[in-house]
């Protein structure tokens, strides 16, 4: 029993098929599969998929809103030259966050970390 509509399944598959994807790209790909799909339906289903924890919405400085499939806790590196985004699962981060929660009088639900810099490829290209 698929509790989800065709539109919903289509959108989920699209998000799952790309490491990070924005609304425009989701919309284009969804309309290729279902030409009549409405933008409102896309927003609605992205919201639903997120609240059902099938996908995650990530925000990079207001400029970018991207979706990715739920990969569990991780962080992002953004190259400010080529705008490439990489996932970071560095265990050091977890060590760090457990330190934090021990040192402060608050309980942590989740941590959102964006690391901005220059990727290896762009560093090499720039040294011309």
Partner DNA sequence: CTGGAAATGATATTGATTATCAATTTAGGA
Partner DNA sequence: TCCTAAATTGATAATCAATATCATTTCCAG
Cβ atoms of 8 and 37 within 8 Å: the answer is: no
- In the range 39-68, which residues lie near its own copies by CB under 8 A? 59, 61-62, 65
In the complex with DNA, which residue's Cβ is closer, 9 or 92?
9
How far apart, in whole angstroms, are the C-alpha atoms of residue 94 and residue 92?
5
- Nearest approach, Cβ of residue 111 and DNA (Å): 22
Query: Counting contacts by CB under 7 A, is residue 3 touching DNA?
Result: yes
Cβ atoms of 22 and 64 within 8 Å: the answer is: yes
Query: Counting contacts by CB under 7 A, is residue 43 touching DNA?
Result: yes
Q: Give me 95's structure tokens.
A: 């060590």
- Residue window 97-126: x/- pattern of binding to its own copies, with contact defined by CB under 8 A: x-xxx-xxxxxxxxxxxxxxxxxx--x---
């Amino acid at each position: 029993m698929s509790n989800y509509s065709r539109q919903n399944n289509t959108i989920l598959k699209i998000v799952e098929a790309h490491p990070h994807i924005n609304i425009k790209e989701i919309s284009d790909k969804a309309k290729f599969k279902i030409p009549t799909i409405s933008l409102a339906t896309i927003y609605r289903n992205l919201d639903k998929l997120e609240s059902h924890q099938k996908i995650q919405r990530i925000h990079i400085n207001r400029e970018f809103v991207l979706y990715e499939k739920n990969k569990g806790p991780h962080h992002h590196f953004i190259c400010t030259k080529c705008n490439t985004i990489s996932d970071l699962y560095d265990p050091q981060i977890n060590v760090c966050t457990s330190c934090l929660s021990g040192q402060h009088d608050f309980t942590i639900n989740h941590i959102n970390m964006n690391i901005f810099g220059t990727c290896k490829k762009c560093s090499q290209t720039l040294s011309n």
